[in-house]
Amino acid sequence: MAMHPASDVAFTPTVKALQAAKGSRELYEAIERRGGWRSTVDGRLRAALAGTRSAFLATASADGQPYIQHRGGPAGFIKVLDETTLGFADFTGNQQYISMGNAAENRKAHLFLINYARRQRIKIWGELSVVEDDPELIARVTPPEVEAGVYRARVERAFVLRITAWDINCPQHIPQHFEAEDVAQAVTVRDERIAALEGEIAVLREKLWLKEGCAGAGDD
């Protein structure tokens, strides 16, 4: 039985036909022969998730009506549960339950991660489950910042994504932006360094003034 590459989750026969017609199929066939997209968590994905504060979750209803919802939290709020499974806490929100309802009738879902500072985007395909009756799992996906009260949110349930495939895109056309708190921290470090240097300059000036004053004074 032939093994299908993980990218087949996105590269349907129609997509492959378009790639062939437009001239890119040969490129993607070469990528597939080299192993293609990943279906398990590796070091690159783990590192990217550790810094992720923002993601977009795509789901669809049974009849294919798509929906995209923003998901956010403290850095690393999307947890690696095992090498093929991700999970994150579902915080209390506007209580529309669209993603939850879609997952109940169509488990196919997609996570889109974008890091503007690094100009990196990651696409993750998978099957989504909503878990409400597993306190241990919900505790695993609850960020420690929420437990400590540093990040204000109330966890209602866990969302679990079983990975089908994932891929890192090229950075072309991604504008470079930085998180406000990262900029604030960098500015604080800069200002503290400037203050320290100004203090050192003041001390050196005082020493120089004393030295020059002593050198200019004659014997009594």
Q: Residue 41 and residue 45: Cα distance in Å, rounded?
A: 6
Question: Which position has the higher pLDDT, 151 or 209?
Answer: 151
Digit-coded pLDDT (tens) for 33-53: 888 899 999 999 999 999 999
Tokens in use for 25? 């199929």
Please enumerate in sequence order all residues whose Cβ is within 8 A of that of 92, keeping only pairs 6 or more positions apart, or say none: 153, 154, 155, 156
Taking 60 as the threshold, does the pLDDT of residue 2 lie above it? no
Digit-coded pLDDT (tens) for 101-121: 999 999 999 999 988 777 789
Digit-coded pLDDT (tens) for 150-203: 999 999 999 999 999 999 877 777 667 777 788 788 888 888 898 898 988 988
Strand ranges (DSSP E) for the chain? 54-60, 66-72, 79-82, 85-91, 108-115, 120-131, 155-169
Mapping DSSP to helix (H, G, I), strand (E, B) and coil, where does residue 94 land?
coil
Residue labelled with tokens 């932006």: 177
Residue 174 has a pLDDT of 67
Sign of the torsion angle spanned by Cα atoms 17, 60, 116, 44: negative
Q: Is the pTM of this model over 0.85?
A: no
Q: Does domain 38-169 correspond to CATH entry 2.30.110.10? A: yes
Tokens in use for 164? 């089908």
